[in-house]
A and B are shown apart, each in its own frame.
Chain A
Amino acid sequence: MTAQLGHFTLVLALLVTLYGAVAFLVGSRRRLPPLLASAERSVLVSFGLVTLALLVMEYALVTSDFSIRYVANVSTKASPIRYKIAGLWGNLEGSILLWEWLQVLFIALVVFRFRRRPHPLAPHALGVLMGISAFFLVLLAAVTNPFQQHAPVPPDGRGLNPLLEVTDMLVHPLLLYHGYVGFSVPFAFAFAALLTGRLENEWLTLTRRWTVLAWLFLTAGILYGGWWSYRTLGWGGYWAWDPVENASFMPWLTGTAFLHSVMIQEKRGMLKVWNLVLITLTFALVIFGTFLTRSGILSSVHAFAEGPVGIFFLAFLATVVLGTLGLLLWRAEQLRVPGELDSLVSRESAFLLNNLLLVAFCFTVFLGTIFPLLAEAVRGVKVSVGAPFFNYVNVPIGLALLFLMGVGPVIPWRRASWASLRRNVVGPTATAALATALLMVAGVRGFFPVLGFVLPAFVGATVVMEFGRGMRARRRLQGEGWGTAFRGLVERNRRRYGGLIVHLGVVLLTIGIVGSSTYKLEREAALAPGESFQVGRYTVRFDGLEGAEAPTHFRVWGAFTVSTDGRPGRVLKPAQRFYQGYDSPFASVDARYGLREDLYLILASFARDGSQATVKALVNPLISWIWLGGVVILVGALTALWPGRREEKP
């Protein structure tokens, strides 16, 4: 009964959404206000129906209705209620349902936003968005019905993969999906601009904040994923260049390029085609990533079931890409803007290089991710493309980007005079030189580690100087205190200063990445109770093993007393979790986190009688700076996003 209700609701939502898409497009083309009004109502109806389907699914999950195959796949009777709820995004069908719900939510928000301030582009964009929504509903109604029943009804479900039964499961996927879905809004407006021929900057300015919002969610999702991986996967790293990680990173790269290149169009009216291409690429990469990871053609930590969905995603992807290309060709005359640039050294050039590097970065990730498929198709040989390749190729690109991040914001638009360049770059260069000297004294050697610390110092100095210059001017002119001057400065141009704060976050993050990857210490030892070993400045003593039954698993942990520089400190308890139905145990790490370094313990194996435990200890210097930088990035993005007095003006 529940299953039929859920499925019927989805079919109904599909019909309503199809009607809405057509009504929006016809209504705006033929200028029929009543039809448009009815189309808007169809959005609300569709939102209501999809919400109902979502609630039905959650009801089935919470009440453990195992007659629905999906529920049996992702939960057990004994699962804590929060993981029953999170089961919604624990596997393929449910996550598409969640995705679709977010999609309709965003469409409803767009309707709401443009009801108060209508704009001729909005109905077309809404038509496009309803088309996207219809695609997901076709999947749900006809291809991967989440309400599929099966017989016989099993007495208990299989449950989530134990790796997913952690609190992070309640956060990370939701953030990412918000980001993915969010990029559909600027894409839809770009597509609408092409459809209608309103190709000025409207579509950019109307969706600017939607884009930043999507970027914010995607960034937060990616960073949170790294944090999750670091704290719970038990291998001591945060990023493995896994295909699914890459799938989320590719749209991030093009989205970031887009956020920068739109500024050239806004200021100078150039790069119109490029911006349309970039946002289409970003949206297409979101779909492509889903195709890659949901079609089962690549193996990955995150990959779900195989099935016929792959081909549907591919067809949708082709529609998006070919549709945009066709429209671009059709509008080619109108899009031709003769560009002009007074000097080769200018903000414009810096942005172009920034775009080149970000897109090249994305291309590398793309190539590396699909290369195993290519190699197998062409040579019939399986090859791997993993972390060493990605690091080797991308680190130089990343460092070049960092350099631009320092120079770009201080080069003026149009033409940079040598005098102004000198004035803006002397301070940061001196800082970089000082940093180099300090690093040499501290014993840092090697081209990449030195560059990896000096460039952040350079960028950090430009950001600080930019803020300092603005604040000093305000203090001089308006006699404000430092605090007021800071607030006033940021409020006057949230976008610029928010962006600079984001850059500062990237600086901290880079320091974390360089520090932890260059100076990581690793030691593994088998210890009897009472024995200890040394790693870095820590002595780790094994005190003994303990075990206990938890609701879903059996847990064994070792107690290790850690002394730092001889001073006794905390007891760390890395553990292994044993689940029924899984051959190998799952690690639960324990760590002593700090700004200087983390001491990270993994219980690798143990003797059943408690006479011995093998423990792996990692010292990860500066790794906390990654998360710290992440927080600063989010603060910066929020600053840019926050509604200010200036932006309230139409």
Chain B
Amino acid sequence: MRRRSMVSLLAGGAILLAFLPGGAGAVPEEEVHHIAMELRCPVCQNLSVGDSPSEMAKEMRGLIRERLERGETREEVLAYFVSKYGEWILLSPRASGFNLLVWILPLAAVLAGAVGIFVVVRRWNSRAKARAGAEAHRFPDPASLERVRRELEATEGGPPA
């Protein structure tokens, strides 16, 4: 009986706490959520701690809040979870070492593709211009023709067979 009333007292206290306006040590719920979205829920299939309805995720959100209240920074909280579960717990891999690849390659691909397209389009463009130029001079004027003829004669061999 006593234990039961203790439990309900604790539960009541917890509810009360949940509804209490933020005191000095309170951290904004958004901050907790923001960190929770970066962590993988260990018992779910591909859900973040922020999204997961599981009991485990709820406890982890509590842990995040606790650590923030103790004055830890976002980085420290994340580092704590990494030390406990390994890198796997982070939903976006840290941009260092081998993991840099996953961040850099997409950007590199876009840039390389953009350069490639620019080169190709420029080549197409110059080809179109060259053809337009050639078409404009398809019928050379008589004066030029005469000059070409004279120059060919001057080289003695004449036009090749």
Contacts and interface: CB of A to CB of B under 8 A. Distances in A.
Interface of A: 234-237, 240-243, 270, 299-301, 338-344, 348-349, 352-353, 356-357, 359-360, 363-364, 367-368, 371, 374-375, 378-379, 381-389, 392-393, 397, 522, 525-526, 533, 584, 587, 602, 604-605, 612, 616
Contacts of B117: 349, 352-353, 356
Interface string B77-116: 0000000001111111100011101110110011001100
Nearest to A241: B46
Interface in B104-144: 105-106, 109-110, 113-114, 117, 120-125, 127-128, 131-132
B interface, size bucket: 35 or more
A242 B45 contact: yes
A386 B124 contact: no
Given A587-B53, A604-B53, A383 B128 contact: no
A392 B38 CA distance: 12
A397 B109 CA distance: 12
A300 B128 contact: no
Contacts of A379: 97-98
A348 B124 CA distance: 11
A588 B96 CA distance: 41
Contact of A339 (B92, B102, B127): B127
B64 to A, nearest CB: 14
A39 B64 CA distance: 66
30 contacts: A235-B47, A242-B46, A270-B124, A299-B46, A300-B45, A300-B46, A339-B123, A339-B127, A340-B124, A341-B121, A341-B128, A353-B114, A367-B102, A371-B93, A375-B93, A375-B99, A378-B98, A383-B88, A383-B90, A384-B40, A384-B89, A385-B102, A386-B46, A386-B91, A389-B102, A392-B92, A525-B15, A526-B11, A605-B55, A616-B53
Given A235-B53, A612-B11, A356 B114 contact: yes
Given A368-B102, A384-B88, A344 B45 contact: no
Contacts of B125: 341-344
Interface string B50-64: 011111001000000
A525 B14 CA distance: 10
B52 A386 contact: no
Interface of B: 11, 14-15, 18-19, 33, 37-38, 40, 45-48, 51-55, 58, 86-93, 97-99, 101-103, 105-106, 109-110, 113-114, 117, 120-125, 127-128, 131-132
A-B interface, 8 closest residue pairs, ranked by CB to CB distance from nearest: A386-B91, A341-B124, A389-B92, A340-B128, A388-B92, A382-B88, A339-B124, A364-B106
Given A301-B45, A385-B92, A388-B92, A360 B109 contact: yes
Contact of B106 (A237, A240, A352, A367): A367
A393 B19 CA distance: 37
Contact of B48 (A270, A360, A387): A387
A386 B87 CA distance: 13
Contacts of B123: 339
A235 B49 CA distance: 11
A338 B53 contact: no
Contact of A381 (B47, B87, B91): B87
